[in-house]
Structure 1
Amino acid sequence: MNTNDIVKRLKQLDTPAVSDALDRLELPGRVTHLRRLTTEQRIAGQVLTVKLGTGEALEGPPRHLCTSAVEAANPGDILVIEQRSGVEAAGWGGILSNGAKVRGIAGIICDGPVRDVDE
């Protein structure tokens, strides 16, 4: 079974079914303390991960670090972003959401500050 077949099957399941299966198989697979901000839609797909931290600004014009993830993603992919370094800047926002929509990204999971949710 290839990855696309697995994704098709996962799209048919709800979160509790996947969580229960992971528990029965004794596989770690849960993230706590995240709350859904939009839609009732289920998502399943390849995941690109981004871990935002603190540090000196990169050389060149200012650019949100998640921009590269949006550009690297394929249609149907899911971006998972972790930003636990503080709230001095949002880990995700409206401009990135517009870019993700244009690229056909299936969903965003952000463990950190998010702004412009209505966009």
Structure 2
Amino acid sequence: MGAPHGRKPVPVSSQVIERLKNISSGTLTTQLFKHGLKQCFLVGLKPLNPNCAKFAGEAYTMRFIPTREDIDTYATLTPFSNPDNLQWDAVDQIGPGQVLVIDSRNDTRAASAGNMLLTHMMIKGVAGVVTDGSLRDGQEISRMAIPAYAREVTASTRLSYHHAADLQVPISCAEVAVYPGDIIVGDGDGITVIPRHLAAQLADDGEKQDAFEAYLAMRMAAGEKLYGLYPPNDQTRADYQAWIKQGSDPARAVDIRAEKISG
């Protein structure tokens, strides 16, 4: 596993990953910023199926380089493992709960994968597929029960512009560094990359932030003034603690806010 700077991989439990799945990208990026990580959000990537966009899992990385005509031919697509077609090896090797993260160099001219490969991974229990390029078979993928994020949809085959050069190495995706084993979280708004040594801390702090901000949003929706409420001052924080001690459920704040906004 490609831990940065020789750092030993830190175990991350399935419970922590499931908790991160339910934390918003805005909260995750705020918490990462507190740890000095300025940009861990993959800007511009959208889910092909908005109804199947929420996920979290460990990164399994694949790196593309530009294709070369004497290597990337139709004959490369053989019914057996082929050193010139590592993409098939990746799809075969990736395990349940992992996320295939593809460095397509932000090049959308050819597909990074399509319906057949995503179907195979979906049945295996792969958590999601992320590329900073394109996917093909967009209509089919938009109805599939596997989260799939990309910049665009194109019909052009990968062999037109992409050669799979490496698996399970550090990559760039949407100009963000992704290491094998990083925790990848999608929430419908986009993709956040979490260094695995911070995963448990972000699960704890992120849940607290989401609960507190639901309370703040509830009060904001009631028409309160901005300053002192957001960002919260000491009095607002004290009010929140008193609200919790009264037995109020932070989840109820989300419902109340939704009721006020919808009228």
Q: Are the counterparts in 2 of residues 53 and 85 from structure 1 also a CA contact under 8 Å? A: no
Q: Secondary structure at the match of 1:29?
A: coil
Report the equivalent of 1:103: 124
Q: Are the counterparts in 2 of residues 90 and 113 from structure 1 also a CA contact under 8 Å? A: yes
The partner residue of 1:53 within 65, 79, 86 is 65
Does the alignment pair 1:34 with 2:34? no
Deviations along 1:80-100, whole A, 9 cap, x unmatched?
112127455311111111111
Q: Are the counterparts in 1 of residues 107 and 132 from structure 2 also a CA contact under 8 Å? A: no
Structure 1 residue 66: deviation in Å?
2.5
Gaps of 5+ in 1: none
Distance 2:126 2:106 in 1: 25
Q: Secondary structure at the match of 2:138?
A: coil
Q: Which has the higher contact order (CA 8 A, sep 6+)?
A: 2
Structure showing the higher helix proportion among its residues: 2
Report the equivalent of 1:2: 11
| Compared CA separation, residues 21 and 89, structure 1 to 2 (3 A) | same
Using structure 2 for the length normalisation, give the TM-score.
0.40
Deviations along 1:51-101, whole A, 9 cap, x unmatched?
111244269742654322221111111111121274553111111111111
Does the alignment pair 1:62 with 2:77? yes
Report the equivalent of 1:24: 34
Gaps of 5+ in 2: 1-9, 79-84, 141-263
Structure 1 residue 25: deviation in Å?
1.4
Sequence identity percentage? 26
Q: Are the counterparts in 1 of residues 106 and 132 from structure 2 also a CA contact under 8 Å? A: no
Does the alignment pair 1:11 with 2:26? no
Distance 2:107 2:124 in 1: 28
Distance 2:31 2:77 in 1: 43
Q: Are the counterparts in 1 of residues 105 and 132 from structure 2 also a CA contact under 8 Å? A: yes
The partner residue of 1:89 within 94, 110, 121 is 110
| Compared CA separation, residues 93 and 29, structure 1 to 2 (3 A) | same
Could you tell which deviates more after superposition, 63-72 or 92-101? Answer: 63-72
Q: Computing the radius of gyration over CA atoms, which structure comes out larger, 1 or 2?
A: 2
Structure showing the higher strand proportion among its residues: 2
